[in-house]
Structure 1
Protein backbone atom coordinates (compact mmCIF):
# COMPACT_ATOMS: atom_id res chain seq x y z
CA UNK A 1 0.00 0.00 0.00
CA UNK A 2 1.07 3.55 -0.66
CA UNK A 3 1.98 5.73 2.32
CA UNK A 4 0.14 9.04 2.81
CA UNK A 5 1.77 11.88 0.94
CA UNK A 6 -0.45 14.61 2.35
CA UNK A 7 0.40 16.85 5.27
CA UNK A 8 -2.48 15.97 7.57
CA UNK A 9 -4.15 12.80 8.80
CA UNK A 10 -7.85 13.75 8.75
CA UNK A 11 -9.29 13.14 12.21
CA UNK A 12 -12.85 14.04 13.16
CA UNK A 13 -13.72 14.44 16.85
CA UNK A 14 -17.03 12.69 17.52
CA UNK A 15 -17.33 13.33 21.26
CA UNK A 16 -15.61 15.20 24.10
CA UNK A 17 -16.76 14.46 27.64
CA UNK A 18 -15.46 14.99 31.15
CA UNK A 19 -15.09 12.00 33.43
CA UNK A 20 -14.78 12.55 37.16
CA UNK A 21 -13.22 10.33 39.80
CA UNK A 22 -15.97 8.15 41.29
CA UNK A 23 -14.76 8.35 44.89
CA UNK A 24 -12.39 11.32 45.12
CA UNK A 25 -10.11 11.30 48.14
CA UNK A 26 -10.08 14.17 50.55
CA UNK A 27 -7.06 16.13 49.47
CA UNK A 28 -5.81 19.68 49.56
CA UNK A 29 -7.98 21.83 47.30
CA UNK A 30 -4.90 23.21 45.59
CA UNK A 31 -1.42 21.90 44.78
CA UNK A 32 1.43 24.18 43.86
CA UNK A 33 4.01 23.21 41.29
CA UNK A 34 7.63 22.56 42.25
CA UNK A 35 10.64 24.66 41.29
CA UNK A 36 11.69 21.84 38.95
CA UNK A 37 8.34 22.16 37.14
CA UNK A 38 8.88 25.89 36.77
CA UNK A 39 12.32 25.43 35.17
CA UNK A 40 10.88 23.50 32.22
CA UNK A 41 7.74 25.59 31.92
CA UNK A 42 4.39 24.42 30.65
CA UNK A 43 4.15 21.90 27.83
CA UNK A 44 1.90 19.05 26.77
CA UNK A 45 3.09 15.50 26.26
CA UNK A 46 1.39 12.32 25.04
CA UNK A 47 1.96 8.61 25.35
CA UNK A 48 0.35 7.07 22.27
CA UNK A 49 -0.35 3.37 21.81
CA UNK A 50 -1.43 2.02 18.42
CA UNK A 51 -3.51 -1.17 18.22
CA UNK A 52 -4.34 -3.23 15.10
CA UNK A 53 -7.87 -4.30 14.30
CA UNK A 54 -9.48 -5.70 17.43
CA UNK A 55 -11.86 -8.63 17.72
CA UNK A 56 -13.83 -6.46 20.14
CA UNK A 57 -16.00 -3.73 18.60
CA UNK A 58 -14.72 -0.18 19.11
CA UNK A 59 -17.92 0.65 21.01
CA UNK A 60 -17.01 -2.03 23.60
CA UNK A 61 -13.57 -0.47 24.06
CA UNK A 62 -15.19 2.94 24.58
CA UNK A 63 -17.67 1.47 27.05
CA UNK A 64 -14.93 -0.32 29.00
CA UNK A 65 -12.94 2.89 29.38
CA UNK A 66 -15.99 4.97 30.33
CA UNK A 67 -16.97 2.37 32.93
CA UNK A 68 -13.54 1.92 34.51
CA UNK A 69 -11.93 5.36 34.19
CA UNK A 70 -13.78 6.93 37.17
CA UNK A 71 -12.39 4.29 39.58
CA UNK A 72 -8.94 4.58 37.98
CA UNK A 73 -9.00 8.36 38.45
CA UNK A 74 -9.52 7.86 42.20
CA UNK A 75 -5.83 6.90 42.31
CA UNK A 76 -4.74 9.80 40.07
CA UNK A 77 -7.12 12.39 41.42
CA UNK A 78 -5.11 15.52 40.45
CA UNK A 79 -5.71 14.60 36.78
CA UNK A 80 -9.39 15.51 37.32
CA UNK A 81 -8.58 19.09 38.39
CA UNK A 82 -7.65 22.24 36.49
CA UNK A 83 -4.44 24.20 36.04
CA UNK A 84 -4.86 27.86 36.98
CA UNK A 85 -2.65 30.87 37.70
CA UNK A 86 -2.57 31.70 41.40
CA UNK A 87 -3.74 35.33 41.62
CA UNK A 88 -1.34 36.12 44.48
CA UNK A 89 1.89 34.44 43.31
CA UNK A 90 1.09 34.44 39.56
CA UNK A 91 2.44 30.86 39.47
CA UNK A 92 0.54 27.91 38.03
CA UNK A 93 -1.23 25.69 40.50
CA UNK A 94 -3.40 22.61 40.27
CA UNK A 95 -6.94 23.07 41.57
CA UNK A 96 -8.02 19.62 42.78
CA UNK A 97 -11.77 20.03 42.36
CA UNK A 98 -12.71 16.87 40.41
CA UNK A 99 -13.86 18.89 37.38
CA UNK A 100 -13.12 15.81 35.30
CA UNK A 101 -10.50 14.45 32.94
CA UNK A 102 -11.26 14.87 29.25
CA UNK A 103 -12.28 11.79 27.27
CA UNK A 104 -12.19 12.21 23.48
CA UNK A 105 -13.55 9.83 20.87
CA UNK A 106 -12.49 10.47 17.28
CA UNK A 107 -12.35 8.77 13.88
CA UNK A 108 -10.11 8.87 10.84
CA UNK A 109 -10.90 7.63 7.34
CA UNK A 110 -7.21 6.77 6.98
CA UNK A 111 -6.14 3.14 7.51
CA UNK A 112 -3.11 2.62 9.76
CA UNK A 113 -1.14 0.98 6.93
CA UNK A 114 -1.16 4.31 5.05
CA UNK A 115 0.52 6.23 7.86
CA UNK A 116 4.30 6.69 7.82
CA UNK A 117 5.21 6.05 11.45
CA UNK A 118 8.87 6.68 10.59
CA UNK A 119 8.04 10.39 10.42
CA UNK A 120 6.73 11.63 13.79
CA UNK A 121 5.44 14.91 12.33
CA UNK A 122 3.38 12.99 9.77
CA UNK A 123 2.07 10.38 12.21
CA UNK A 124 2.06 10.45 16.02
CA UNK A 125 2.12 14.24 16.31
CA UNK A 126 -1.02 14.38 14.20
CA UNK A 127 -2.86 11.62 16.03
CA UNK A 128 -2.77 13.62 19.25
CA UNK A 129 -5.83 15.87 19.35
CA UNK A 130 -5.18 19.37 20.76
CA UNK A 131 -6.61 19.95 24.23
CA UNK A 132 -6.98 22.87 26.62
CA UNK A 133 -3.94 24.19 28.46
CA UNK A 134 -5.88 24.04 31.72
CA UNK A 135 -6.51 20.27 31.45
CA UNK A 136 -4.12 17.96 33.31
CA UNK A 137 -5.38 14.91 31.33
CA UNK A 138 -6.98 14.24 27.97
CA UNK A 139 -7.52 10.55 27.21
CA UNK A 140 -8.06 10.18 23.47
CA UNK A 141 -9.28 7.25 21.37
CA UNK A 142 -9.03 7.44 17.58
CA UNK A 143 -10.54 4.71 15.39
CA UNK A 144 -8.95 4.28 11.94
CA UNK A 145 -10.59 3.08 8.71
CA UNK A 146 -8.99 -0.38 9.02
CA UNK A 147 -10.53 -1.00 12.45
CA UNK A 148 -7.29 -0.29 14.31
CA UNK A 149 -7.21 2.43 16.92
CA UNK A 150 -4.94 4.59 19.03
CA UNK A 151 -5.10 5.48 22.71
CA UNK A 152 -3.38 8.72 23.71
CA UNK A 153 -2.74 9.54 27.35
CA UNK A 154 -2.09 13.28 26.97
CA UNK A 155 -1.05 15.37 29.94
CA UNK A 156 0.03 18.89 30.74
CA UNK A 157 3.36 19.34 32.47
Structure 2
Protein backbone atom coordinates (compact mmCIF):
# COMPACT_ATOMS: atom_id res chain seq x y z
CA UNK A 1 0.00 0.00 0.00
CA UNK A 2 2.82 2.39 0.91
CA UNK A 3 4.51 1.63 -2.36
CA UNK A 4 1.44 2.55 -4.41
CA UNK A 5 1.02 5.86 -2.53
CA UNK A 6 4.66 6.68 -3.22
CA UNK A 7 4.28 5.82 -6.90
CA UNK A 8 1.23 8.10 -7.12
CA UNK A 9 3.15 10.89 -5.42
CA UNK A 10 6.07 10.31 -7.81
CA UNK A 11 3.65 10.50 -10.75
CA UNK A 12 2.44 13.92 -9.56
CA UNK A 13 6.01 15.09 -9.06
CA UNK A 14 6.93 14.04 -12.61
CA UNK A 15 3.82 15.60 -14.15
CA UNK A 16 4.35 18.77 -12.11
CA UNK A 17 8.00 19.01 -13.11
CA UNK A 18 7.22 18.48 -16.79
CA UNK A 19 4.40 21.05 -16.61
CA UNK A 20 6.62 23.57 -14.80
CA UNK A 21 9.52 23.17 -17.24
CA UNK A 22 7.23 23.23 -20.28
CA UNK A 23 5.64 26.46 -19.09
CA UNK A 24 9.04 28.08 -18.50
CA UNK A 25 10.26 26.98 -21.94
CA UNK A 26 7.09 28.26 -23.60
CA UNK A 27 7.38 31.55 -21.70
CA UNK A 28 11.04 31.94 -22.69
CA UNK A 29 10.11 31.22 -26.32
CA UNK A 30 7.42 33.89 -26.13
CA UNK A 31 9.90 36.45 -24.80
CA UNK A 32 12.50 35.53 -27.43
CA UNK A 33 10.03 35.83 -30.32
CA UNK A 34 8.40 39.00 -29.01
CA UNK A 35 11.78 40.65 -28.45
CA UNK A 36 13.02 39.57 -31.89
CA UNK A 37 9.86 40.93 -33.50
CA UNK A 38 10.17 44.26 -31.69
CA UNK A 39 13.84 44.67 -32.55
CA UNK A 40 13.19 43.82 -36.22
CA UNK A 41 10.32 46.30 -36.27
CA UNK A 42 12.55 49.02 -34.82
CA UNK A 43 15.26 48.25 -37.37
CA UNK A 44 12.86 48.43 -40.28
CA UNK A 45 11.14 51.55 -38.94
CA UNK A 46 14.52 53.32 -38.67
CA UNK A 47 14.96 52.83 -42.42
CA UNK A 48 11.70 54.77 -42.84
CA UNK A 49 10.56 52.63 -45.76
CA UNK A 50 8.76 49.40 -45.04
CA UNK A 51 8.22 46.98 -47.84
CA UNK A 52 5.21 44.70 -47.95
CA UNK A 53 7.57 41.80 -47.23
CA UNK A 54 8.79 43.51 -44.04
CA UNK A 55 5.23 44.09 -42.86
CA UNK A 56 4.34 40.45 -43.55
CA UNK A 57 7.41 39.26 -41.64
CA UNK A 58 6.51 41.42 -38.64
CA UNK A 59 2.94 40.12 -38.78
CA UNK A 60 4.20 36.54 -38.97
CA UNK A 61 6.32 36.98 -35.84
CA UNK A 62 3.29 38.51 -34.12
CA UNK A 63 1.23 35.50 -35.11
CA UNK A 64 3.86 33.14 -33.71
CA UNK A 65 3.95 35.10 -30.43
CA UNK A 66 0.17 34.81 -30.16
CA UNK A 67 0.33 31.07 -30.82
CA UNK A 68 2.88 30.67 -28.06
CA UNK A 69 0.58 32.59 -25.70
CA UNK A 70 -2.23 30.22 -26.68
CA UNK A 71 0.05 27.23 -26.07
CA UNK A 72 0.79 28.67 -22.63
CA UNK A 73 -2.94 28.90 -21.85
CA UNK A 74 -3.72 25.45 -23.28
CA UNK A 75 -0.95 23.90 -21.16
CA UNK A 76 -2.44 25.52 -18.06
CA UNK A 77 -5.96 24.34 -18.89
CA UNK A 78 -4.85 20.76 -19.61
CA UNK A 79 -2.81 20.63 -16.42
CA UNK A 80 -5.69 22.02 -14.39
CA UNK A 81 -8.07 19.42 -15.85
CA UNK A 82 -5.57 16.68 -15.01
CA UNK A 83 -5.11 17.86 -11.43
CA UNK A 84 -8.86 18.42 -10.91
CA UNK A 85 -9.63 14.86 -11.97
CA UNK A 86 -6.82 13.57 -9.79
CA UNK A 87 -8.13 15.68 -6.88
CA UNK A 88 -4.74 17.32 -6.41
CA UNK A 89 -5.70 21.00 -6.58
CA UNK A 90 -3.52 22.02 -3.66
CA UNK A 91 -0.50 20.51 -5.37
CA UNK A 92 -1.48 22.28 -8.62
CA UNK A 93 -1.83 25.58 -6.76
CA UNK A 94 1.64 25.18 -5.25
CA UNK A 95 3.20 24.43 -8.65
CA UNK A 96 1.48 27.47 -10.18
CA UNK A 97 2.57 29.69 -7.31
CA UNK A 98 6.16 28.59 -7.92
CA UNK A 99 5.65 29.12 -11.67
CA UNK A 100 4.28 32.63 -11.11
CA UNK A 101 7.19 33.61 -8.87
CA UNK A 102 9.64 32.14 -11.40
CA UNK A 103 8.04 34.08 -14.26
CA UNK A 104 8.17 37.29 -12.22
CA UNK A 105 11.88 36.73 -11.57
CA UNK A 106 12.52 35.91 -15.23
CA UNK A 107 10.55 39.00 -16.25
CA UNK A 108 12.79 41.22 -14.15
CA UNK A 109 15.87 39.62 -15.71
CA UNK A 110 14.41 39.88 -19.24
CA UNK A 111 13.42 43.50 -18.57
CA UNK A 112 17.06 44.45 -18.10
CA UNK A 113 18.32 42.29 -20.97
CA UNK A 114 15.69 43.07 -23.63
CA UNK A 115 13.89 46.18 -24.83
CA UNK A 116 10.51 44.81 -23.73
CA UNK A 117 8.36 46.48 -21.08
CA UNK A 118 7.21 44.71 -17.93
CA UNK A 119 3.66 44.67 -19.34
CA UNK A 120 4.84 42.87 -22.48
CA UNK A 121 6.82 40.40 -20.39
CA UNK A 122 3.93 39.64 -18.04
CA UNK A 123 1.22 39.44 -20.71
CA UNK A 124 1.13 35.61 -20.80
CA UNK A 125 0.81 35.57 -17.02
CA UNK A 126 -2.03 38.11 -17.13
CA UNK A 127 -3.87 36.00 -19.70
CA UNK A 128 -3.36 32.99 -17.46
CA UNK A 129 -4.81 34.87 -14.51
CA UNK A 130 -8.15 35.11 -16.32
CA UNK A 131 -8.30 31.33 -16.63
CA UNK A 132 -7.20 30.89 -13.03
CA UNK A 133 -10.09 33.10 -11.88
CA UNK A 134 -12.50 31.08 -14.03
CA UNK A 135 -11.10 27.89 -12.46
CA UNK A 136 -11.60 29.24 -8.93
CA UNK A 137 -15.17 30.33 -9.73
CA UNK A 138 -15.90 26.87 -11.16
CA UNK A 139 -14.53 25.18 -8.05
CA UNK A 140 -16.49 27.46 -5.74
CA UNK A 141 -19.73 26.80 -7.61
CA UNK A 142 -19.01 23.08 -7.67
CA UNK A 143 -18.40 23.12 -3.91
CA UNK A 144 -21.59 25.08 -3.22
CA UNK A 145 -23.66 22.73 -5.40
CA UNK A 146 -22.17 19.71 -3.63
CA UNK A 147 -22.84 21.24 -0.20
CA UNK A 148 -26.37 22.27 -1.20
CA UNK A 149 -27.18 18.81 -2.49
CA UNK A 150 -25.82 17.19 0.71
CA UNK A 151 -27.89 19.58 2.85
CA UNK A 152 -31.05 18.69 0.93
CA UNK A 153 -30.37 14.97 1.27
CA UNK A 154 -29.85 15.31 5.04
CA UNK A 155 -33.03 17.39 5.44
CA UNK A 156 -35.16 14.96 3.48
CA UNK A 157 -34.06 11.99 5.60
Higher helix share: 2
Q: Give TM-score scaled by structure 1 length.
A: 0.28
Question: Could you tell me the TM-score, scaled by structure 2's length?
Answer: 0.28
